[in-house]
Amino acid sequence: MPDSLEAQRIELHGHPVTYRRGGRGPAVVLIHGITSSSRTWDAVAPALARSHTVIAPDLLGHGSSAKPRGDYSLGAYASGIRDLLVALDIPSATVVGHSLGGGVAMQFAYQFPARVERLVLVSSGGLGSEVSIALRAATLPGADYVLPVLASAILRRTGAATGRVIGRLGLQPSPDLRGLAEGFDSLGDADARRAFLHTARAVMDSSGQRVNAEDRLYLTRHMPSLIVWGDRDRMIPVQHGRRAHQLMPGSRLEVFEGAGHFPFNYAPGRFTSVLEDFVATTEPARFDDVQIRRLLLGG
């Protein structure tokens, strides 16, 4: 990651957690997707850090953070984000989540609403059952034995060689291919594979995503919310974003034409501008128990 964001490490509950931090201003937390890391935000994090304090963690089981045997549920990930922000003395932030990270962001907003100033969902999981068959396959019996073969060093080297050949031909791998390659490369580590399988099985089964936040999206009524999606997303369909927009009163929806599952890589300048404008033109949410009680009871 460019020099404007510095990689740092902190120990939480006995486990080392890596995060990248840079900039000054209102806090923005960037939460990556499954098998990814804070590196997934490389195209946009430095620009955001010009006017914001950017925090981009490697979730447990991902990147350079610890990969212990333990809880890889959305609730556990959300608690981990809370613990990191407490340790860094950041009381609240605009929370941005991509793919699995979107599910984590929604869970974080549900568990710790007072810590969320704004919610941004990017190609988010947790908004419907449909999901790529490649991800569903991780929930099948025997995936524990097949995955090490698919992620073998030989195949990973072959993939890299293919990328070099494409480059010599003057072609550029799609942003989706680059994003997925990072995740595939991480699965060469046995602990990372185990964490991936635990994470996938916590939110999906063979029929698709089991976790669906639709019944609680009304709670965002007083929380500024932005939804960003690519109209050619093959991992999670853009219809999930459109449906969420209908269920989230006052939310904004930005559909990037021609973009896939990583819209911030297809159009980093537009993504940065959209996010900065969203932060600049909305007031941070302020929640207390009285307001949350009123929402829960339909008031």
At 236 the three-state DSSP class reads coil
Q: How many residues does the chain have?
A: 299
Q: How far is the C-alpha of 229 from the C-alpha of 259, rounded, in Å?
A: 8
Distance CA 16, CA 34 (A): 19
DSSP conformational letter for 230: E
**Burial class of residue 246, CB neighbours in 10 A (0-12, 13-18, 19+):** exposed
Catalytic residue among 38, 79, 99, 124: 99
Q: Does the annotation count 245 as an active-site position?
A: no
The alpha carbons of the chain give a radius of gyration, in whole angstroms, of 18
The H-assigned helical ranges of 37-116 are 45-48, 74-87, 100-111
Cβ-based neighbour number of residue 198 at 10 Å: 17
Residue 62 exposure: Cα atoms within 13 Å on the Cβ side: 29
Strands 208-209 and 93-98: unpaired
Active site residue: 42, 58, 176, 233, which one? 233
Verify whether residue 261 is a known catalytic residue.
yes
How crowded is the C-beta side of 220, counted as CA atoms within 13 Å? 29
Which tokens go with 200? 């996938």
Active site (annotated) includes residue 233: yes
**Annotated active-site positions, please?**
99, 233, 261
